[in-house]
Structure 1
Amino acid sequence: MKSITTLLFILSFFFIPDVVVAQNYVDTYILDSLVSENSFLAKKPNTSSTPVYENIKVKLPEPIWPARKDVISCYWKAWQLAFLNVHSVTAENGFLEPYIDPAFNKHIFMWDTSFMVLFGRYGHRAFNFQASLDNLYHKQHKDGFICREISTLDGNELFERFDASSTGPNIMPWAEWEYFLNFDDKVRLQKVFAPLLAYYRWFRTNRSWPDGAYFSTGWGCGMDNQPRVPKGFNNEFSHAFMSWIDTSLQEVFAGKILIAMARKLGREKDVINIETETDQLTHHINTRMWDEKTSYYYDRFRDGSLSNVKSIASFWALLAEVVPSNKLDKFISHLENPREFARLHRVPMLSADHPVFTPGGNYWQGGVWAPTSYMVLRGLTKYKRDSLAFEIAYNHLDNVVKVYNQTGTLWENYAPDRVEGKYQKDLVGWTGLVPISVLFEYVFGLRPNVPENMIVWDVRLTDEFGIKKYPFKAKGLINFWAAKRKKNTDEPRIKVESNIAFDLKLIWTGGTRVIHVKPIRS
């Protein structure tokens, strides 16, 4: 009887007139015309195979440091692990280009990928690491949104776009600008400008408060277990009605880079509003998110009060260049305070005077992470605090290498108060920044600027050291060598061999001089 009743009900559904089938979702997309310029959307996948480390090692730069062979060994281990995590596109994930994977959970991440290409640019002759970002541009929505996390197995996005944790941090412009400063590739700059600007505009529309500040979540900002939100809110997934200091600073930083890109491309009209916004947001950060008593930038709560959590998030202020001269010394002094950030291994994610700071790290509650330490270093360079940057960089590299000597590998993050790798091992991943980018740019002191045809060589080591096959511009290869010195005030005795001409700005504790390097004739 029951089955007959069910059958009659089903039949009646098909024969009763005016039955309306409900629509599942309303299309809420507000189209951004810039997305129509995104050439990555229609591009065909690059199905080429990925390189094998042993076969392409000869194309990588070769550092020299006779007194620290362990550092050199760690350097090569980083590249070996990086190439183990390079993968081809698949029909299932629908990616566009072979890519480096974060070696974490079978997903690509927006900020992991951005940081990985920052060291990957040094291996560009062996593999196009920069194209890893193309897979994110390829997944851009028609309103400009790009998801922060995408599966490498099936290409599915891990978040719905209006979820407060769905995207960020907005640092892809930085990753592209650094590539441009190394290779002067205006063709790529032209291609990435529109998707980056469209994403910036989506982020401004959907992640800002009426006062102009920005919000995120623990997951959205990438530092999921930091104690930043007030009691009663979810630490990982709630924006807690806060103005988030790192998210606001990153938007200033991204905006300034987009303005610089626009000037290179003759598209200044596209960024007029951004110039106004960065000025207004900078003012807001310095008047409403700065505490004069402690000389620090903080998250701001809904009632206008400031947090008391000194997070490494605030040091994005250096890269964004928002710190006024009258605030700078006191702000930077936190990095030199052993009770705060100057721990055994620098720089921890959370100031050591916070109650939940953990000497063993506990992820973002005190752990030392390669990407954020690199951010601090690059920020110090913006303000010409390179002596402190060298001190922090040497400490960071030395501790990572000590753990490498003990374990034979690199780790997801490190303990701040003891020599110990934490959580996932063999992670390259962004930890490759330390034995590659930090070594080259801060311990060895080589920082390129291809558009100006210049390399700054800030020589602070007194050991003999150098690099062979250092990449510069599209086809430039340079050998650098510095002799051992008795003291750092001695002018370095150097040797430079190059296949292209460039200007070398040599800096040491005792002076500065500019050398015009001529190419060696073959």
Structure 2
Amino acid sequence: MMKINLKNPNNLRTAKLIAFSLIINLCAFTGFGQPYANTYVKNNLVEQNLYIGMTSDTSLPPDFVEAKERLPEPFWSVRPDVIKCYWRTWKIAFSNLKQVNKNSGFVSPFIDPAFNGNIFMWDCSFMTMYGKYAKPVFNFQNTLNNFYAKQHSDGFICREIRESDGSDCFERFDPSSTGPNIMPWSEWEYFLNYNDTNRLKKVFPVLLAYYEWFHTYRSWPDGTYYSSGWGCGMDNQHRMDKNFNAAWSHGFLSWIDTSFQEVYSAKILIEMAKVLGRENDVIEIKNQTDKLSNQINNYMWDEKDRYYFDRFKNGELSKTKSIASYWGLLAGAVPENRINDFVKHLQDTSMFARKHMIPTLSADDANFDPSGGYWNGAVWAPTNYMVLRGLTKYGFDSLAYQIAINHLNNVVEVFDKTDTLWENYAPDKVQGNDHSNFVGWTGLVPINVLFEYVFGIRPNVPNNELIIDVNLTDEYGVKHYPYGENGNIDIQCKKRKNTLEKPSMIITSNVPLKLIVKWSGGKFVKDINVGKTILK
């Protein structure tokens, strides 16, 4: 046993520190928590959170073998490598499904990010976006229920939660404790595919309370937002002064991605409120969003570079061309007189149009790593998907297809060589990096990018519409495509001589819908009835 001479003032101080440490550890071990003052300011919306205290669903998730015949079945005869990658993706994803651990306080079976034994807000939000296609077999969307069940009384939700005991990995006021705020995007994507207003009713107050927490505790006086490398999800990207830690510090920056994400999340909440008749709940956030959009466009846009940048506290812009800026497309916050110049950077080979599009850091940056460097140049599935969705919003369909087919081809080429998917990819060579068997958000590429951009199939079930943007000239399609709660559609696009030729297709559906077909040579709209419809 160590003996300490308490007559020595330095030793007395040491003894006090040891004793205090033992008390903290004892409190934590015995469940009494840290001896901090209670600083919670309750948000009444949290009282509407039905996930807190919900009875846990401890059922076993299905395995891939029993699920496969009910999953969407793509076909593309000239690309068996793509189809093989697609099915391997689902096989790995289903191997990552987890039953609820009763000690965690989780409420729903979920997909595990398969990273470190924790669930991540950033990862899980993206994983649900491809998981939506498996809803007839397993509801991946319920993965987010476990975050909602852990919401604090003031609206906070931690970005990383331990699967073993359901505890938060960060104290809530830590700059890295939460974010990115993209759960509203995930829920809205799910709504567009399934028109599930019952779920929308449940998640709306949860997401609004979380948005309000973010606004209260993550914004600067000018209305812009801050985060950290871990908080924004791009752990090690060089974005601030070298005196600050890239992973943990906010660096006194106005963060361009976090600010644009708040604009987008607010706009989604406003749309949700319209559907649910809760417009009065979002009056204030509409005002906040208008002011934030103006602040970004007035002070975070560089007229010479025609680009959005992080802003230092002295008002100067950082000049780091990060993919973070392209959240502005998804947010619909880029003015028309800037959009063309802003998007041109994606087509510039000295910046983002590399062998594998799109690196997370422009190639003309001194910190760009042609092999990836994690977030200093690597190509990541979630950020690429964000860019594709943003380009769609502004009507850059041709560029979106170009990026999508490039992205898919590179991922599949690495898959052909390594028989697996990777956490991220090199921008200037055919190479997968870091974690292998990563499904994980990389599942977005063989599923969402294939369906929504290479095949061009994008639903809007609340409007009873299905868009097919035909770019391929090969014959292709998908069987058992889920549409709404009970819809099941077979889509077959016939081979064409060139991209200008009007597409011929066969649609077999068990529900009526409006079909919108686009291609390089034109567009037509057709009402599809139940049964088989031949379009020539």
Band of TM-score, shorter chain: over 0.9
Match of 2:126, SS state, is: helix
Query: Equivalent residues in 2 for 1:108-147 (5 A)?
Result: 108-147=119-158
1:421 maps onto 2:436 in alignment: no
1:54 maps onto 2:65 in alignment: yes
1:100 maps onto 2:111 in alignment: yes
Question: Which residue is 2:350 aligned to?
Answer: 339
Question: Which of 521, 528, 536 is equivalent to 1:510?
Answer: 521
How far apart, in 2, do the equivalents of 1:25 and 1:356 lie? 41
1:457 maps onto 2:468 in alignment: yes
State, as a whole percentage, how many aligned pairs show the same letter: 57
1:490 maps onto 2:501 in alignment: yes
1:209-243 CA-to-partner distances (Å, cap 9, x unmatched) read 00000000000000011000112111110101110
Query: Equivalent residues in 2 for 1:363-402 (5 A)?
Result: 363-402=374-413
How far apart, in 2, do the equivalents of 1:296 and 1:24 lie? 47
In the TM superposition, residue 156 of structure 1 has moved relative to its aligned partner by 1.4
1:76 maps onto 2:87 in alignment: yes
Question: Which residue is 2:17 aligned to?
Answer: none
Question: Which residue is 2:23 aligned to?
Answer: none
1:185 maps onto 2:196 in alignment: yes
How far apart, in 1, do the equivalents of 2:487 and 2:35 lie? 56
Match of 1:279, SS state, is: helix
How far apart, in 2, do the equivalents of 1:339 and 1:25 lie? 51
Q: Give the CA RMSD over aligned residues.
A: 1.5
1:327-347 CA-to-partner distances (Å, cap 9, x unmatched) read 011000000000000000011
How far apart, in 2, do the equivalents of 1:430 and 1:388 lie? 22
Query: Equivalent residues in 2 for 1:217-236 (5 A)?
Result: 217-236=228-247
In the TM superposition, residue 24 of structure 1 has moved relative to its aligned partner by 2.3
Question: Which residue is 2:335 aligned to?
Answer: 324
In the TM superposition, residue 155 of structure 1 has moved relative to its aligned partner by 1.3
Match of 2:153, SS state, is: coil
1:266 maps onto 2:277 in alignment: yes
Question: Which residue is 1:27 aligned to?
Answer: 38
Match of 2:199, SS state, is: helix
1:73-101 CA-to-partner distances (Å, cap 9, x unmatched) read 00001000000100000112221100001
In the TM superposition, residue 154 of structure 1 has moved relative to its aligned partner by 1.8
1:159 maps onto 2:170 in alignment: yes
Question: Which residue is 1:284 aligned to?
Answer: 295
88-97 or 301-310, larger mean C-alpha shift: 88-97
How high is the TM-score relative to the length of structure 1? 0.95
Question: Which of 360, 367, 380 is equivalent to 1:356?
Answer: 367
1:309 maps onto 2:320 in alignment: yes
Question: Which of 388, 403, 412 is equivalent to 2:414?
Answer: 403
Question: Which of 430, 436, 445 is equivalent to 1:434?
Answer: 445
How far apart, in 1, do the equivalents of 2:108 and 2:522 lie? 45
Match of 2:387, SS state, is: helix
1:199 maps onto 2:210 in alignment: yes
Question: Which of 457, 470, 475 is equivalent to 2:481?
Answer: 470
- Name the amino acid aligned to 2:377: G
Structure 1: 4+ residue segments shifted above 2 A = none
Question: Which residue is 1:212 aligned to?
Answer: 223
Question: Which residue is 2:14 aligned to?
Answer: none
1:290-323 CA-to-partner distances (Å, cap 9, x unmatched) read 0000000000001000001000000000000111
How far apart, in 2, do the equivalents of 1:403 and 1:49 lie? 33
Query: Equivalent residues in 2 for 1:13-24 (5 A)?
Result: 24=35
1:364-399 CA-to-partner distances (Å, cap 9, x unmatched) read 000000000000000000000000000000000000
How far apart, in 1, do the equivalents of 2:122 and 2:434 lie? 19
- Name the amino acid aligned to 1:350: L
- Name the amino acid aligned to 2:439: V
How far apart, in 1, do the equivalents of 2:35 and 2:370 lie? 50
Unmatched runs of 5 consecutive residues or more in structure 2 = 7-26, 28-33
In the TM superposition, residue 40 of structure 1 has moved relative to its aligned partner by 0.2
How far apart, in 1, do the equivalents of 2:181 and 2:36 lie? 28
Question: Which residue is 1:298 aligned to?
Answer: 309
Match of 2:498, SS state, is: coil
How far apart, in 1, do the equivalents of 2:369 and 2:229 lie? 18
- Name the amino acid aligned to 1:89: V
1:253 maps onto 2:264 in alignment: yes
In the TM superposition, residue 492 of structure 1 has moved relative to its aligned partner by 0.6
In the TM superposition, residue 42 of structure 1 has moved relative to its aligned partner by 1.9
How far apart, in 1, do the equivalents of 2:133 and 2:242 lie? 44
Match of 1:467, SS state, is: strand
Question: Which of 75, 78, 81 is equivalent to 1:64?
Answer: 75
1:434-474 CA-to-partner distances (Å, cap 9, x unmatched) read 00000000000000000100000000000110000000010
Question: Which of 52, 58, 61 is equivalent to 1:41?
Answer: 52
- Name the amino acid aligned to 2:394: Y
In the TM superposition, residue 153 of structure 1 has moved relative to its aligned partner by 1.6
Unmatched runs of 5 consecutive residues or more in structure 1 = 7-21
How far apart, in 1, do the equivalents of 2:72 and 2:246 lie? 42
How far apart, in 2, do the equivalents of 1:150 and 1:103 lie? 13
How far apart, in 2, do the equivalents of 1:434 and 1:171 lie? 19
1:403-445 CA-to-partner distances (Å, cap 9, x unmatched) read 0000001000000000000000000000000000000000000
Question: Which residue is 1:10 aligned to?
Answer: none
1:81-126 CA-to-partner distances (Å, cap 9, x unmatched) read 0001000001122211000011111110001010000000001111
How far apart, in 1, do the equivalents of 2:49 and 2:277 lie? 18
In the TM superposition, residue 178 of structure 1 has moved relative to its aligned partner by 0.7
How far apart, in 1, do the equivalents of 2:465 and 2:495 lie? 24
Match of 1:365, SS state, is: coil
Match of 2:37, SS state, is: coil
How far apart, in 2, do the equivalents of 1:352 and 1:93 lie? 43
